[in-house]
Amino acid sequence: MNLPVILNYTLFGGTTMSLLGGVEGLAWVKSQYANQVDDWPDIQLHFGSGSEISDDGTAVRFAHGFTDDVWEQYYKPILNKDSWTIFPLFLRPRSRGNIRLNSKDPYDKPLINPNYFKDPYDLKITIEAVKISIALSKTEALKKMGSRLYDKPFPGCEGFQLWTDDYWGCWIKRSSFTLAHTVGTCKMGPDNDPTAVVDPQLRLRGIKNLRIADTSIMPSVPSGNTNAPTIMVGEKASDLIKQTWL
């Protein structure tokens, strides 16, 4: 994000500013811990041609929730350098968060507890995903770019030996975010499930003429991005509503 890039985009188009969200590559991988019989992978990798420093700290670092201290200590020293990132994701996490009312006031902000990595298995697979990402960075194809792993210890993890599982576990816990793939606050399920908020017709239990059609109705995170499944839910909801009124 600099003046030459902006001018080239304005005059000629087709430059890096024409990218769709900055994520050019995706991979789905089975880790060594995955059940090889299952027909779904347990790791997803997002490849982005940039990082928190690509916009000089104006937006991305806030979207990813990094504090000023982390920005100053970790990211600012490499400002104005070219960078690329692999975001390693563990699919189908076992840990479950919760959302609760803070008070009787409907305008009061709710209490949200993501509960990341409460189940140790989630952290174990994410560490494996990090190792796979680093191995990819050492392939001939990516070494042609002359890039290397940024090896400054992450703030708060200086007490761990670099590149060990304990270090990666610390780094993961201090730098993780949902990538906007949040689900499950209005779970869909059968009538005999007391935790199901909506029925299989997407109707909110206890309230007439109200349906929910977004990622909140998914009982768990699908193995991949939630955009396409959400569009599918919306299309299905429109069919259900039309059937009702016919």
Tens-digit pLDDT profile for residues 140-179: 998 898 988 999 999 999 999 999 999 999 999 999 988 7
Mean residue pLDDT of the chain comes to: 91
Stated as kind and residue range, the H or E segment containing 44 is strand 43-48
pLDDT digits (tens, 9 = 90+) for 18-32: 766 668 889 999 999
Domain map (residue ranges) of the chain: 3-175, 180-245
The whole-angstrom separation of Cα 187 and Cα 202 is 10
Catalytic residues: 181
CA atoms within 13 A on the CB side of 233: 23
Neighbour-count burial of 140, counting CB atoms closer than 10 A to its CB (0-12 exposed, 13-18 middle, 19+ buried): exposed
Q: How much is the average pLDDT of 173-198?
A: 91
Percent of the chain with pLDDT over 90: 68
Is residue 15 scored above 70 in pLDDT? no
Taking the C-alpha atoms of residue 132 and residue 173, their distance in angstroms, rounded to an integer, is: 18
Q: 3-175 — its CATH code?
A: 3.30.560.10
Does residue 97 surpass a pLDDT of 80?
Answer: yes
The full length of the chain comes to 246
Portion of the chain with pLDDT greater than 70, in percent: 96
Helices (H) and strands (E) in the chain, counts: 7, 5
Separation of alpha carbons 80 and 189, rounded Å = 50
Separation CA 6–CA 21 (nearest Å): 16
| pLDDT band with cut points at 50, 70 and 90 for residue 14 | low
Query: What is the rounded CA–CA span in Å between residue 28 and residue 89?
Result: 10
What would the pLDDT profile of 236-245 be if each residue is shown by its tens digit? 999 999 999 9
pLDDT for 177 equals 86
User: What's the average model confidence in pLDDT over 32-39?
Assistant: 90
